[in-house]
Amino acid sequence: MKALLLQDKGQWRDMQVGEVERPSPASDEIVVQVKAAGLNPVDYKTGENGSPSWSYPHILGLDVAGIVDEAGSDVTNFTKGDRVVYLSDMAKKGGFAEYAVIKAHTVSKLPESVSFEDAAALPVAAYTAYQALFFKLHAQKDKTILIHAGAGGVGGFAIQLAKYAGLTVITTASQKKHSYVKDLGADYAIDYKTEDFVEKTKELTNGLGVDYVLDTVGRENATKSLDTLAYNGQIAFIAGQPEMNESISFAHPVSFHHVALGSVYQSGNTAEEKTLKQIGDHLVELLSEGKITSLVEKVISLEEVPEGLKELESRSFTGKMVARI
């Protein structure tokens, strides 16, 4: 089969399409004929650093949508021809290929009304946003949330999901992207380059602060965000944990939630792995009903993936980029 091959860590910019052996399923796995695969910053980050679990050449690509081609002996809920979407296991070979393999209990079925390209935009970014909002923060209607980097993939899906859940949404984005995030549903946009988001958030909440924060930026930003939280507020963080010890106060209690979606495959916890299917099922339903959009702004070929990842690395791209396989 054809696949985009990473010959060694650090060489993701030089990946080229080559021929490798088609994968075979274990008893609990399915082989998927890949139709579309989403691009994410995690692809070039892991491609740069590599993993001890990889053998080379490795295949990147965590967002996968396609058609079931073969099912393992213990798989009863999928048959050849089923349309599916899933989050790939980061420790194994991924979806920038004609075929890929995955544990069947993590996979969601796709209706005909959802395109492979739209579906392939979901797993990394939308699943992460969903887990943060509903599994970690348990976001409730009429509450207020600060979502950082609203023009990014996780942020863009988080805005849509938060509005779907009935929250008031404040987000950070550069001024030129304010119209974009407001079109997604943000009630207020803060220019992080020219405004202090803590002061602006306090102003927008009449000094009370927000009930929830979703931080996708990093440790320093997450720590600063603690000052935006209301009494009994909660923060979910993805890119780095805030300084917790100095922030724990009897007078102003807050809760901390670590979001690390992809590591579930290394947990050995089948019940937690099955939550990926649960999340995917609901997101596919919301997408098919038009309650969220896929954020897809650009569709490229498999050969163009390295250039696409360079574009993501430059942080100049807004929304989601997907490769049609």
Cis before 306 (ω within 30): no
CA dihedral sign, ordered 219, 222, 226, 227: positive
In sequence order, what are the beta bridge partners of 256?
A: 235
Predicted confidence pLDDT, tens digits, the chain (325 residues)? 999 999 999 999 999 999 999 999 999 999 999 999 999 999 999 999 999 999 999 999 999 999 999 999 999 999 999 999 999 999 999 999 999 999 999 999 999 999 999 999 999 999 999 999 999 999 999 999 999 999 999 999 999 999 999 999 999 999 999 999 999 999 999 999 999 999 999 999 999 999 999 999 999 999 999 999 999 999 999 999 999 877 788 999 999 999 999 999 999 999 999 999 999 999 999 999 999 999 999 999 999 999 999 999 998 899 999 999 9
- Identify whether the C-beta of residue 236 lies closer than 8 Å to the C-beta of residue 224: no
> Which residues make Cβ contacts (< 8 Å) with residue 312, sequence separation at least 6?
39, 40, 41, 43, 44, 321
- Nearest residue to 253 (alpha-carbon basis) of 274, 231, 235, 273: 231
- Nearest residue to 190 (alpha-carbon basis) of 225, 231, 163: 225
What is 259-292 written as a DSSP string? --GGGGGGTT-HHHHHHHHHHHHHHHHHHHTTSS
> E strand or H helix at 225, and its extent?
helix 219-225
- When the candidates are 2.40.50.140, 3.40.50.880, 3.40.50.300, 3.40.50.720, the CATH number that belongs to 125-259 is 3.40.50.720
**104, 106, 168, 207, 242 from 123: Cα distances, Å:** 15, 11, 25, 36, 25
* Neighbour-count burial of 248, counting CB atoms closer than 10 A to its CB (0-12 exposed, 13-18 middle, 19+ buried): exposed
How far is 167 from 149, CA to CA, in rounded Å?
A: 17
Structure tokens at 129: 């946003």
The pLDDT, as a whole number, for residue 316 is 83
The domain limits of the chain are 2-121+289-324, 125-259
Show the DSSP H helices in 70-177 as ranges.
116-119, 123-130, 153-164
Structure tokens at 168: 């008031």
- Identify whether the C-beta of residue 124 lies closer than 8 Å to the C-beta of residue 62: yes
Architecture of domain 2-121+289-324: Alpha-Beta Complex (3.90)
Strands 99-103 and 29-38: antiparallel
> E strand or H helix at 199, and its extent?
helix 197-204
Each residue of 36-95: pLDDT tens digit? 999 999 999 999 999 999 999 999 999 999 999 999 999 999 999 999 999 999 999 999
How far is 213 from 137, CA to CA, in rounded Å?
A: 9
CATH topology match: 2-121+289-324 vs 125-259: no
Structure tokens at 251: 């007078």
